[in-house]
Chains A and B, each alone.
Chain A
């Protein structure tokens, strides 16, 4: 079978043919998303103190000096 160079290499094929692009994508994609996920998690962390929660939920006996 005769090989021809007239056929156009598609973008996808170019990506899949280059292991360094694959490596970069493989590191960048999860890197960006996990970083974003981590930032979101930090922002949704609850800053309420346990003692404030206990006072608000009427569990005063657990507080310092509480009975």
Chain B
């Protein structure tokens, strides 16, 4: 039998081919319908957003930090590394008490959030400069953080431990300094 294609090689679909095509089309339709249906089954990330700007969001986040930053026995504000210039450690208020604010800025996440297991939190996040990524590890929850755009997620941590936020959207360098690769934040969940 020659390897070249016969002139009229086409034939109407046979039964098996037709079945596979129908299955493929049906699966494509199911996948397509799942996108809007996901909104009703709470499978998608919240789409709650507000308009803001970097200056405003920075001020709001700072007020939030001033109010909720953890203090030691002497009343000294606690930071992630124990140094005054470290990133503030904040006892995040749960949903019933207030909202939580997280700033992404080249190249840090501020503050370090301390949350309680099985409590629900509303976390506002925005960027003060470039586009950043919010990648909660090792859970691998990924979101974008944009300037001028406040994005709110509702989160109920169900396990204790120290979790990391990694910027997974390449954030531009400012001047001659690069820092995207070192942009790591923390979330601490306690009992």
Chain A residues close to B by CB (< 8 Å): 3-5, 7-10, 12-13, 17, 33, 44-54, 57, 59, 61-64, 66
| A10-B12, A46-B49, A59-B99 known; A3-B56 Cβ under 8 A | no
Interface class of chain A by DSSP: loop
Instruction: Looking at the assembled complex, report how far the CB atom of B100 sits from the nearest CB atom of chain A, in whole angstroms.
Output: 11
User: Would A50 and B60 count as touching, CB distance under 8 A?
Assistant: yes
User: Would A51 and B63 count as touching, CB distance under 8 A?
Assistant: no
Instruction: Looking at the assembled complex, report how far the CB atom of A25 sits from the nearest CB atom of chain B, in whole angstroms.
Output: 13
Chain B residues close to A by CB (< 8 Å): 6-8, 10-13, 21, 32, 47-52, 56-57, 59-60, 63-64, 67, 98-99, 101, 124, 150
Instruction: Looking at the assembled complex, report how far the CB atom of B90 sits from the nearest CB atom of chain A, in whole angstroms.
Output: 14
User: Would A48 and B10 count as touching, CB distance under 8 A?
Assistant: no
Complex Cα distance, B98 from A47, in Å, reads 22
| A49-B50, A49-B51, A57-B99 known; A4-B12 Cβ under 8 A | no
User: Would A48 and B50 count as touching, CB distance under 8 A?
Assistant: yes
| A46-B48, A53-B50 known; A61-B67 Cβ under 8 A | yes
A residues near B98, Cβ cutoff 8 Å: 59
Complex Cα distance, B56 from A4, in Å, reads 76
29 A-B contacts (beta carbon < 8 Å): A3-B6, A3-B8, A7-B8, A7-B12, A8-B12, A9-B10, A10-B13, A44-B47, A45-B49, A46-B48, A46-B49, A48-B50, A48-B51, A49-B52, A50-B51, A50-B52, A50-B57, A50-B60, A50-B124, A50-B150, A51-B52, A53-B50, A54-B99, A57-B99, A59-B98, A61-B63, A61-B67, A63-B60, A64-B56
Instruction: Looking at the assembled complex, report how far the CB atom of B152 sits from the nearest CB atom of chain A, in whole angstroms.
Output: 9
Complex Cα distance, B21 from A50, in Å, reads 49
Q: Which of B32, B47, B51, B60 contacts A62 (CB 8 A)?
A: B60
Instruction: Looking at the assembled complex, report how far the CB atom of B71 sits from the nearest CB atom of chain A, in whole angstroms.
Output: 18
B residues near A59, Cβ cutoff 8 Å: 98-99
Instruction: Looking at the assembled complex, report how far the CB atom of A10 sits from the nearest CB atom of chain B, in whole angstroms.
Output: 5
